[in-house]
Amino acid sequence: MQVLINWIENSLGRIRDMKPENGLSPRITSGLRELQLSVKPLIFGNVSSETQFIAFFLNSYIDDLFMDLLGDIPDDADGILEKIRNDLFNDIVTGFNQLLETLKNGRNPLPAIVALVSFYSKAVSKLNYQDKERRDYE
């Protein structure tokens, strides 16, 4: 579990340390991709089942973020979708910090995982609503 904690902590540290002028999305996406690449070997590694589950969850969660929130975003001339994405990324950083503290303290990680899923589902719902509104208007 400690290796997983270290990778989450390092990724969050790099997200915080990146220059703000690079923008929120690139800072967080690069940190998330780094985390994903770090935890993926744990899915198949000789680790506890809890570490394996959390690594699997994080890998899948980050993969879904990239697929649903970065790749499929339509034209955003008015900046509404970028705001939704930035709000989500702020929530994700908060959620990953909560997960990190939970793991460090040896508590049940399920509430922190549930919070991350909730942030994601709310953002996807907002993006789908905005996309539908835009299509209805056109």
Distance of CA 64 to the CA centre of its chain: 9
Q: Are 93 and 32 in contact (CB under 8 A)?
A: no
- For 18-45, give the DSSP string: S-GGG-HHHHHHHHHHHHHHHHHHHHSS
Entry pTM: 0.83
pLDDT of residue 22: 54
Averaged pLDDT for residues 84-111: 90
pLDDT of residue 2: 93
Q: Is 60 exceeded by the pLDDT of residue 101?
A: yes
Q: Are 52 and 42 in contact (CB under 8 A)?
A: yes
pLDDT band at 125 (very low <50, low <70, confident <90, very high): confident
Judged by phi (left if over 0) then psi (alpha if -120 to 50, else beta), residue 5 lies in alpha
- Per DSSP, 46 falls in state S
- What does the alpha-carbon distance between residue 74 and residue 30 come to, in Å, rounded to a whole number? 21
Contacts of 86 (CB under 8 A, 6+ apart): 24, 25
Q: Provide the 10 A C-beta neighbour count for residue 9.
A: 15
